[in-house]
Chains A and B, each alone.
Chain A
Amino acid sequence: DVKVTQSSRYLVKRTGEKVFLECVQDMDHENMFWYRQDPGLGLRLIYFSYDVKMKEKGDIPEGYSVSREKKERFSLILESASTNQTSMYLCASSLFWGSYNEQFFGPGTRLTVL
Chain B
Amino acid sequence: GESVGLHLPTLSVQEGDNSIINCAYSNSASDYFIWYKQESGKGPQFIIDIRSNMDKRQGQRVTVLLNKTVKHLSLQIAATQPGDSAVYFCAEVLTTSGTYKYIFGTGTRLKVLA
A interface residue numbers (CB < 8 A to B): 4, 37-45, 88, 90, 92, 97-100, 102-108, 110
Would you call A42 and B103 a contact (CB within 8 A)? yes
Q: Is B7 an interface residue, CB under 8 A from the partner?
A: yes
Query: Using a Cβ–Cβ cut-off of 8 Å, how many residues does chain B contribute to the interface with A?
Result: 29
B interface, over-half SS = mixed
Q: Is B88 an interface residue, CB under 8 A from the partner?
A: no
Would you call A88 and B4 a contact (CB within 8 A)? yes
Q: How far is the CB of A22 from chain B (nearest CB, A)?
A: 15
A interface, over-half SS = loop
Would you call B44 and A90 a contact (CB within 8 A)? yes
Instruction: Tell me how many residue pairs across A and B have CB atoms closer than 8 Å.
Output: 58
In the bound complex, residues from chain A placing their C-beta under 8 Å from that of B5 are 39
Q: Is B45 an interface residue, CB under 8 A from the partner?
A: yes
Bound-state Cα–Cα, A42 to B25, Å: 12
Would you give 19 A-B contacts (Cβ < 8 Å), ordered by A?
A4-B43, A37-B4, A39-B6, A40-B7, A40-B106, A42-B103, A42-B105, A42-B106, A43-B104, A88-B3, A88-B4, A92-B43, A98-B98, A100-B32, A100-B100, A102-B49, A107-B41, A108-B41, A108-B43
